[in-house]
Amino acid sequence: MKKTLLLSGLFSLFVFNQVKAQAKPEWASIFGKINTEVLNNSNAYTSLKIASETIGHRLTGSENGKKAEQYAYDLLKSYGFSNVRFQPFEVESWSRGTLQVSIGDKVNALQNVKSVSLAHSPVNADISLEVVDMGNGVEEDYAANPGKVNGKIALVYLGTLPGSKAGTPNLHRSEKTAIATKYGAKGIIVINTADKGVLLTGTASVTGKLIPIPAVCIGKEDGLALKEKIKTSPLFSHILMTNHSGLIKARNVVATIKGKRLPNEKVVVGGHLDSWDLATGAMDNGIGSFSVLDMARTFKALHLQPERTIDFVMFMGEEEGLLGSRAYVDAAIKDKSIDQIRYMLNYDMTNDPKGYATSSAESKSLFESIGSIAHQLDTNFKNTFTVGAGLHSDHQPFMLNGVPTGGAAGGSLPKGAGPCYHADCDVFSLVEDKGMRNTVRFNTMLLYGIADAKKIEAKHFTDEETRLFLIKNNLKEPLTIAGEWRWKD
**Does residue 14 have a pLDDT over 50?**
no
For residues 231 and 197, the answer to whether their CB atoms sit within 8 Å is no
**Which pLDDT value is given to residue 42?**
98
pLDDT digits (tens, 9 = 90+) for 30-72: 999 999 999 999 999 999 999 999 999 999 999 999 999 999 9
Instruction: Average the pLDDT over 206-219 and give the result.
Output: 95
pLDDT digits (tens, 9 = 90+) for 412-457: 999 999 999 999 999 999 999 999 999 999 999 999 999 999 999 9
pLDDT digits (tens, 9 = 90+) for 320-355: 999 999 999 999 999 999 999 999 999 999 999 999
**Which pLDDT value is given to residue 91?**
80
The domain over range 24-92+247-458 is classified in CATH as 3.40.630.10: yes
> SS3 of 270, please?
strand
Q: Model pTM greater than 0.95?
A: no
Instruction: Average the pLDDT over 241-262 and give the result.
Output: 96
For residues 52 and 428, the answer to whether their CB atoms sit within 8 Å is yes
* Domain spans, the chain: 24-92+247-458, 106-233
For residues 148 and 180, the answer to whether their CB atoms sit within 8 Å is no
CA angle 187, 191, 193 (to 5 degrees): 155
Q: For the chain, what percent of residues have pLDDT higher than 90?
A: 92
pLDDT digits (tens, 9 = 90+) for 109-162: 799 999 999 999 999 999 999 999 999 999 999 999 999 999 999 999 999 999
The distance from CA 84 to its chain's CA centroid, rounded to whole angstroms, is 24
For residues 198 and 423, the answer to whether their CB atoms sit within 8 Å is yes
Among residues 262, 263, 282, 264, the alpha carbon closest in space to that of 273 is found at 282
For residues 296 and 76, the answer to whether their CB atoms sit within 8 Å is yes
Single-letter residue type at 452: D
**Does residue 314 have a pLDDT over 50?**
yes
The domain over range 106-233 is classified in CATH as 2.50.20.10: no
**Does residue 313 have a pLDDT over 50?**
yes
**Does residue 7 have a pLDDT over 50?**
no
CA 199 → CA 94, 102, 146, 193, distances in Å?
Answer: 18, 16, 29, 9
**Does residue 16 have a pLDDT over 90?**
no
**Does residue 9 have a pLDDT over 50?**
no
pLDDT digits (tens, 9 = 90+) for 365-410: 999 999 999 999 999 999 999 999 999 999 999 999 999 999 999 9
Backbone CA torsion sign across 423, 355, 291, 434: positive
